[in-house]
Structure 1
Amino acid sequence: MSGRENDVLLVIGSGLKVYREYLVAPIHRRAKENGLDLILINNLKPTWQHRYFDEIVVANVFDGEVMGAAAREVVARRTVVGLMCWDEPLVLDAGLLAAEFGVPGLSAAGVRGCRDKELTRAALTAAGLPQPGFALTTTVEEATAAAARIGYPVVVKPRAMGASIGVVFAADEAELVTAFGVARAASEVDPGPYRASVIVEEYVSGPEISVDGAVHKGEYLPMFVARKHSSDEPYFEEIGHLVDADDPLLRDHELVDVLARAHHTLGVEYGITHAELRLSPRGPLIIEINGRLGGDLIPFLGRTATGIEPGEVLFDVSVGRRPDITPGRRAVAGIRFGCPDHDCRLESVRVPTEAPGLVAASPMAEPGTSLRLPPGGYLARHSFVVCEAADAETCLARLDIAADLVELTTTPLGPPAPDAPFEMPAGLLDVDE
């Protein structure tokens, strides 16, 4: 034996097992087939990750300097040929490291353009792509003036958060003042350069969708479309998604052209992105482009509906290969999140093991977890169910049945203290111990 070490694919942050093991398993398989080792830099002591990674470095990945030092230490002793990250708070630093190491990635310009919503808006507007009117603000006075220029109603959002956290609809100035406080408080959680700033933008009507697509040498390759189901205004929390392998939007030349032009404008070179759009009266309008795979198990829905393996696609683009995104099956898959209708403490939750078309179901919070609705909290999810069917109508009906089978015990919670600091929702960060 030569004793030569394998080249390495570096992964920044694994995420929760229930959310990300379905990605990690095929990435591990693909790495072994190609003679690569997998090294994970993770924020907490690993558990389930051991079976998939050849080495795990425990470091605070939410501190950019600590993450960078840990990654450079790996690069100093091993040959790193690719780097991947799918956790929104880590995408910017991970993308900049990929550019520094000279491995395939979004590019420095691309990852900044995806992470910074204000930069996204400015770049796409300058390129002539349809965008809502917008302004970046740091004070309520600036926000009020911006809304007056743009015209009500408006949407107020943190500059660089995800999962609709801190996103609020405002119909008039009184609502704007409240909405600015909510968005500003949420923005303070971001440890990066975009904290404490808020975007005010024109409200655009129309159905919401997301598109997960791969990018190889700047070529945009759409994989699947998810139809989004959101809570009522003024908040835009996502309560479900539906992916149809035969969605006609995948053949909509205007939509695909808008997405391809947007990625080119932002300078995205390699990777997978999650683009969110409104199908507005003016045509498909990009709300944001995230430099990662979609959350909310949307890639799992995509795999279930289309047969496309997102983990394998991510592996390919991360090592500079053009992926195969040919669908292997034609079905419809959907997810429904269980959310309480009032603030409560979760005492117990039991999900169904059998239901028509049931693919997966899981609790999303531990007993004792406080579940608060906006603006006191976000993503107050106690469980999810995933179902599949041959058509969208049947899939939605199956989701109704499965969701009704979730058994829940809660106790009421009083209102949060007026000065209580914003906290990230339970279940978003990897807390496996």
Structure 2
Amino acid sequence: MAPKTIMVIGAGILQLPAIQIAKQMGLITMVTDMNPRAIGMKYADIPVVVSTRDVDGTVRAARSYATHRKIEGVITVGTDASRTVAAFANALGLPGNKFEDAEASTNKIKMRRRFQEFNVPSPNFRSVWTLQDAFQAATELGSWPLVMKPSDNMGARGVMRIDSKENIPEAFHRAKEASPSGELIIEEFMDGPELSIDALIWDGNITFAGIADRVIGFEPFFVEIGHTMPSALPQEMIDDACDVMKRGIDALGLTIGAAKGDIKVTSKGAMIGELASRLSGGFMSSHTFPLSTGISSIKAALEIAMGMPPTETEPRFQKVAVERAVFCEPGQVRGITGIDAAQKVKGVADVVVHIRPGDYVHQPTCNLDKPMNVITVADTREEAVRLNDQAREMITIEIGKPVKLTHKILHDNARKLFGLVCRVCDVCDGKDCPAGVPGMGAVGTGASFRANIEALEQYKINVRSIHDVKEADTSCELFGASLSCPVLAAPITGMNLNLGGALPEEEYARIVTSGCKKAGSLGTVGDGALPKMYHAGLSAIAECGGFGVPIFKPRADFEAIKERIEASARVGCLAVGMDVDAAAFLTMDLMQQPVETKSVGQLREIIELTDLPFVIKGVMTVWDAVAAIEAGAAAIVVSNHGGRVLDNMPGALHVLPDIVSVAKGKVKVLVDGGIRSGADVLKCLALGADAVLIGRPIAVAALGGGIEGVEFYINSIRKELQNSMILTGCRTIEDIRPDVVCKV
């Protein structure tokens, strides 16, 4: 008999056990993940590169494969891909739940509404879209504390406790950043201990497959520090929690497969925090349950997914398994020691390491921010906890500047955080860019992005080797500040929308501004699609003593612009600006933030709000340059926004010479778009620019190396510029003339 095929949705570390167990069962594994480098893809018989959230793409891939081999089951473990699993099963007639029921087990608002309809104990809540909604919801709920969270994410991403109205804006923006749809939920805070419960559903029966005590910390966030299997709560509390979970399963209409519940045992009785139609992650279904009982809930779930009854659901023995995370101070990992010693401790089942030297460790705000996990097993709870503590104490994560950063280290580290939002190509030229907008790519065909590179390539450098220039001085003056080189970081915001949530907004801004300052350069920060996102950038600039420049969106609301400019002055920014070409920016539209084109009169009115030098970014024509000068700008940035606002625009260097001809001497002329080397900087300066901005490569350096990564990257560009100046006979920046380059 030919082996049967099962589809596993997801190929990360939490899905790897399902792939491995399926193969041990003799099944052919077809595995999907948007990351071709995901660990589970190496074990898959048939790896398919498609996002776990891409319902239509997954179904198309399945139907294509099913034309020559039958697929007999589909499953996911430890990730919120239940909608995809249900759509797949429904489309191919496989065992599974209805799509609308799986969706209700994924979207927290629909879940809460089901629970209300069927009188299942759960916190009172309100759905939220705007900040005003959040304040109104808090008033209606009428008591503190509350909790704000995305309606459609997992792993405690964007979840924050709110103790007063003053906390609402921060919680709102964190949740909004973490929500793919932008839909949020605010609900009552539930007191008491928390249980993590797995269940198997087959033929009308619900069998519990693991009940663990969760340990939550890092308030006001909800980071799972670990869990202990089995629970030590009194049996009546456990029974109450299981009963409530059964009612929740029935309310969601889940009739087959698995269910994972986060159940709070409150002073009012058990209440459901969340209930998903899958087995748990967090190393519970994969590690602590089999270690504690001798049986595999994943194997049972695989059997159910294939339309077979689970063969083993009764524990073979009863031990205690403990999982705890290892934490360290935020910063860049210089070294890790003690892992081998920890693994040799009696009772240590596994040490799962998520970091390596060169990575940047962040202050934990969600369950993705854990450097490593230690899992132990023993006959008693006390012994299992003691062994876990002993093993973790042996591990040291050394934080500090790495011995020597390289571009390869930065790229390798950044790839892990970006996933497929950005492939971190060796040459960032847009030719193999997987993402559009939102994302790290360009709009449409990407032609505007590529045009920046093509425009730079049209100019070649005229080398002069016979002269007396032995050293080159790259320093310059800009906005009253002395810089080590005329290279600035371009403004990038929207970590969740554009960078896949790789870093918190505040941390990215801090890394870029601090890294630039350490390199003697300037970081610019953006405004972004969320109303209060600008606070992250201004906070980072304030930390740098005002050494930075915020660039704001051309919002339709004059008072919102005024608020931002006045805040910039209070922080002591060197200058302030506006990217006028964002008047039709896609992410602003997605977040319902009105923007508009600005007339000369409107710009003049805005510029007159401040004594700070005003920068107008997004100038791509002579007439816009003239208009910016007329409005009173101190500087302009020749930029097509990295190809992110309109397709089929010229590259920045296609238009720079003409703009310089009318603007030079009247305003500072900066340029960005496709600049990737010191030689590129030299070309821009030769064509009349006073300074350049670099965007995507700075983001890679920030993710790949933190503050030190940005400092390293700016210094690398500076050294390349220095060498280029020496080879063209330019002792200072002022010596770089148009004849340094030729157009081919």
Where does residue 329 of structure 1 map in the other structure? 317
Structure 2 counterparts to residues 18-33 of structure 1, below 5 A: 19-30=14-25, 32=26
Q: State, as a whole percentage, how many aligned pairs show the same letter.
A: 22
In 2, Cα distance between the equivalents of 1:355 and 1:234? 34
Where does residue 331 of structure 2 map in the other structure? 344
Q: 1:201 aligns with which of 187, 190, 214?
A: 187
In 1, Cα distance between the equivalents of 2:108 and 2:364? 22
302-311 or 325-334, which deviates more: 302-311
Bigger Rg over Cα = 2
- Asked if 1:154 is matched to 2:146, the reply is yes
Report the AA paired with residue 360 of structure 2.
Answer: S
Unaligned runs of 5+ residues in structure 2 are: 403-490, 504-744
Q: 2:272 aligns with which of 264, 286, 299?
A: 286
Shift of 1:411: 2.1
Q: 2:88 aligns with which of 91, 97, 100?
A: 97
Q: 1 or 2, which has the higher strand percentage?
A: 1
- Asked if 1:306 is matched to 2:293, the reply is yes
Where does residue 117 of structure 1 map in the other structure? 108
Shift of 1:253: 3.5
In 1, Cα distance between the equivalents of 2:313 and 2:319? 16
In 2, Cα distance between the equivalents of 1:247 and 1:223? 16
- Checking the alignment, whether the CA contact within 8 Å between 1:38 and 1:54 is kept in structure 2 is yes
Measured against aligned partners, the alpha-carbon deviations of 1:95-132 in whole angstroms (never above 9, x if no partner) come to 22112211112322321121011111111111111111
Q: Using a 3 Å threshold, how does the CA distance of structure 1 residues 125 and 301 change in structure 2: closer, same or farther? A: same
- Checking the alignment, whether the CA contact within 8 Å between 1:218 and 1:268 is kept in structure 2 is no
- Asked if 1:182 is matched to 2:168, the reply is no
Shift of 1:8: 2.1
Where does residue 269 of structure 1 map in the other structure? 255
Q: 1:164 aligns with which of 129, 137, 156?
A: 156
- Checking the alignment, whether the CA contact within 8 Å between 2:82 and 2:103 is kept in structure 1 is no
In 2, Cα distance between the equivalents of 1:27 and 1:182? 38
- Checking the alignment, whether the CA contact within 8 Å between 1:246 and 1:330 is kept in structure 2 is no
Match of 1:106, SS? coil
Q: 1:393 aligns with which of 369, 376, 382?
A: 382
Q: Using a 3 Å threshold, how does the CA distance of structure 1 residues 49 and 418 change in structure 2: closer, same or farther? A: closer
Shift of 1:310: 2.1
- Checking the alignment, whether the CA contact within 8 Å between 1:41 and 1:71 is kept in structure 2 is no
Where does residue 257 of structure 1 map in the other structure? 243
Where does residue 10 of structure 1 map in the other structure? 7
- Checking the alignment, whether the CA contact within 8 Å between 1:225 and 1:247 is kept in structure 2 is no
Unaligned runs of 5+ residues in structure 1 are: 427-433
Q: Using a 3 Å threshold, how does the CA distance of structure 1 residues 171 and 47 change in structure 2: closer, same or farther? A: closer
Shift of 1:143: 0.8
In 1, Cα distance between the equivalents of 2:361 and 2:74? 35
273-282 or 320-329, which deviates more: 320-329
Q: 1 or 2, which has the higher helix percentage?
A: 2
Where does residue 430 of structure 1 map in the other structure? none
Report the AA paired with residue 165 of structure 1.
Answer: R
Report the AA paired with residue 309 of structure 1.
Answer: S
Where does residue 358 of structure 1 map in the other structure? 348
Q: How many residues align?
A: 406
Q: 2:307 aligns with which of 300, 317, 320?
A: 320
In 1, Cα distance between the equivalents of 2:247 and 2:298? 25
226-235 or 50-59, which deviates more: 50-59
Report the AA paired with residue 405 of structure 1.
Answer: M
Q: Using a 3 Å threshold, how does the CA distance of structure 1 residues 203 and 137 change in structure 2: closer, same or farther? A: same
Q: TM-score, normalised by structure 1?
A: 0.87
- Checking the alignment, whether the CA contact within 8 Å between 2:195 and 2:231 is kept in structure 1 is no
Where does residue 624 of structure 2 map in the other structure? none
Match of 2:77, SS? coil
In 2, Cα distance between the equivalents of 1:367 and 1:355? 24
- Checking the alignment, whether the CA contact within 8 Å between 1:245 and 1:332 is kept in structure 2 is no
Measured against aligned partners, the alpha-carbon deviations of 1:148-179 in whole angstroms (never above 9, x if no partner) come to 11122100000011111111000110112211
Report the AA paired with residue 157 of structure 2.
Answer: I
- Asked if 1:215 is matched to 2:215, the reply is no
Match of 2:20, SS? helix
Q: 2:219 aligns with which of 224, 233, 247?
A: 233
- Checking the alignment, whether the CA contact within 8 Å between 1:240 and 1:335 is kept in structure 2 is yes
- Checking the alignment, whether the CA contact within 8 Å between 1:228 and 1:238 is kept in structure 2 is yes
In 2, Cα distance between the equivalents of 1:59 and 1:119? 26
- Asked if 1:369 is matched to 2:443, the reply is no
- Checking the alignment, whether the CA contact within 8 Å between 1:364 and 1:382 is kept in structure 2 is yes
- Checking the alignment, whether the CA contact within 8 Å between 1:158 and 1:199 is kept in structure 2 is yes
- Checking the alignment, whether the CA contact within 8 Å between 1:140 and 1:180 is kept in structure 2 is yes
Q: Using a 3 Å threshold, how does the CA distance of structure 1 residues 61 and 51 change in structure 2: closer, same or farther? A: closer
Where does residue 74 of structure 1 map in the other structure? 65
Q: Using a 3 Å threshold, how does the CA distance of structure 1 residues 338 and 270 change in structure 2: closer, same or farther? A: same
* Highest RCO, 1 vs 2 (Cα 8 Å, sep ≥ 6): 1
Q: Using a 3 Å threshold, how does the CA distance of structure 1 residues 123 and 253 change in structure 2: closer, same or farther? A: same
417-426 or 152-161, which deviates more: 417-426
In 1, Cα distance between the equivalents of 2:233 and 2:18? 23
In 2, Cα distance between the equivalents of 1:325 and 1:245? 18
In 2, Cα distance between the equivalents of 1:334 and 1:253? 22
In 1, Cα distance between the equivalents of 2:72 and 2:209? 24
In 1, Cα distance between the equivalents of 2:378 and 2:236? 19
390-399 or 56-65, which deviates more: 56-65
In 2, Cα distance between the equivalents of 1:172 and 1:78? 57
Q: Using a 3 Å threshold, how does the CA distance of structure 1 residues 119 and 412 change in structure 2: closer, same or farther? A: farther
In 1, Cα distance between the equivalents of 2:362 and 2:39? 29
Q: TM-score, normalised by structure 2?
A: 0.52
Shift of 1:321: 2.4
Match of 2:385, SS? helix
RMSD of aligned residue pairs (Cα, Å)? 2.5
Match of 1:235, SS? coil
Report the AA paired with residue 165 of structure 2.
Answer: E
- Checking the alignment, whether the CA contact within 8 Å between 2:59 and 2:91 is kept in structure 1 is no
